[in-house]
């Protein structure tokens, strides 16, 4: 099966500092992949390269088998690569609905009935329908995270890139977020999720990748990766 999103031999250097070193990465259609690793391992840089925010110094990015290495982030969003950030950045003065409409129209190029239908579906999926007319700036953290996910989904992605969206949530809120991400997943959207809260991540993902110093050091079934001595030494040992 062709990967929906694939990175081959990806390298990024900042001056003399190699941040990604020949990273290979794939996510299959509908698959959920988690990425873990210590601070500075290169996880966000990898997501930036996949989303088009950082141009790699070497290697290629493919979407549906097509080389998109030189495509801009907005072009990738329209192709079907959505992204949600660790710190939600909604338009604070706009309502929840208006924020989602902006994503559906500007991000996905939808108009009229199609845009409204998409927004209604996404608000429902993210449990935000009853908050549609609330100003984004008045939302609490969990609802701002839900809105961040909704804005990402409003672009109609085939793969979503989630960067530490669980940070700062209570256990109960994280459980709600897991339910929302699971629902995204069950709709057939592939997920790439960076998360330090490993017990949250493993409730959703099929596969886990561990990075350290710009390299992939393990990639496979979550329980096997978490039991890998190299992963324990590089990452888990430091967090416990
Ligand atoms: N724009 C930049 N210029 C210079 N160095 C950078 C830049 N962006 C990231 N780095 C460096 O690249 C390395 C990898 O950073 P990155 O944010 O990708 O790691 P990470 O695994 O996501 O870490 P964290 O878990 O702390 O978010 C770090 O050493 C970081 O300081």
Whether 239 shows a pLDDT value over 70: the answer reads no
Average pLDDT, the chain: 92
Q: Does any ligand 1 atom lie closer than 6 A to the CB of residue 40?
A: yes
Whether 240 shows a pLDDT value over 60: the answer reads no
- Whether residue 66 contacts residue 147, with contact meaning beta carbons closer than 8 Å, is answered with no
- Whether residue 149 contacts residue 126, with contact meaning beta carbons closer than 8 Å, is answered with yes
Q: Does any ligand 1 atom lie closer than 6 A to the CB of residue 26?
A: no
DSSP letters spanning 189-228: -EEEEE-S-HHHHTTT-SEEEEEETTEEEEEE-HHHHHT-
- CA–centroid distance, 197 to ligand 1, in Å, is 18
Task: Report the 10 Å Cβ neighbour count for 50.
Answer: 25
Range(s) within the chain of domains with CATH label 3.40.50.300:
1-80+161-172+189-240
* Pairing label, strands 207-212, 32-36: parallel
Segment of 81-85, 148-152, 206-210 carrying the highest mean pLDDT: 206-210
- Residue 2 pLDDT class (50, 70, 90 cuts): confident
Arithmetic mean of pLDDT, 109-126: 92
- CA–centroid distance, 214 to ligand 1, in Å, is 9
- Which ligand 1 atom is nearest residue 164's CA? 27
ipTM above 0.90, yes or no: yes
List of residues 6+ apart from 14 with CB closer than 8 A: none
Whether 188 shows a pLDDT value over 70: the answer reads yes
Domain 1-80+161-172+189-240: give its CATH architecture: 3-Layer(aba) Sandwich (3.40)
Whether 109 shows a pLDDT value over 90: the answer reads no
| pTM score | 0.91
- Residue 238: per-residue pLDDT: 59
Residue nearest to atom 30 of ligand 1 (CA): 40
Start-to-end CA distance of the chain, whole Å, equals: 38
Per-residue model confidence as pLDDT tens digits over 33-86: 999 999 999 999 999 999 999 999 999 999 999 999 999 998 999 899 999 887
Arithmetic mean of pLDDT, 81-108: 89
Range 124-163 burial, b when 16+ CB lie within 10 A, else e: ebbbbeebbeebbeebeebbbbbbbbbbbbbbbbbbbbbb
């Amino acid at each position: 099966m062709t990967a929906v999103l694939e990175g081959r031999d990806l390298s990024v250097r900042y001056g003399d500092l190699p941040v990604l070193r020949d990273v290979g990465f794939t996510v299959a259609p509908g698959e959920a992949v988690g990425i873990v690793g210590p601070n500075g391992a290169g996880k966000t840089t990898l997501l930036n390269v996949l989303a088009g925010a950082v141009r790699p110094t070497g290697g290629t990015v493919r979407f549906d088998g097509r080389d998109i290495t030189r495509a801009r982030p907005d072009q990738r969003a329209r192709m079907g690569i959505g992204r949600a950030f660790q710190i939600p950045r909604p338009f604070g003065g706009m309502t929840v609905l208006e924020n989602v409409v902006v994503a559906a129209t500007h991000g996905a190029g939808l108009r009229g009935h199609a845009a409204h239908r998409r927004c209604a579906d996404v608000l429902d999926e993210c449990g935000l329908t009853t908050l549609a007319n609330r100003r984004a700036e008045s939302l609490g953290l969990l609802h701002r995270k839900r809105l961040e996910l909704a804005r990402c989904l409003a672009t109609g992605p085939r793969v979503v890139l989630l960067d530490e969206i669980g940070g700062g949530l209570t256990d109960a809120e994280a459980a709600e977020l897991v339910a929302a991400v699971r629902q995204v997943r069950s709709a057939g959207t592939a997920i790439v999720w960076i998360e330090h809260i490993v017990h949250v991540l493993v409730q959703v993902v099929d596969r886990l990748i561990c990075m350290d110093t710009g390299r992939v050091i393990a990639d496979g079934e979550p329980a096997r990766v978490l039991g890998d001595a190299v992963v324990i030494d590089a990452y888990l040992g430091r967090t416990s």
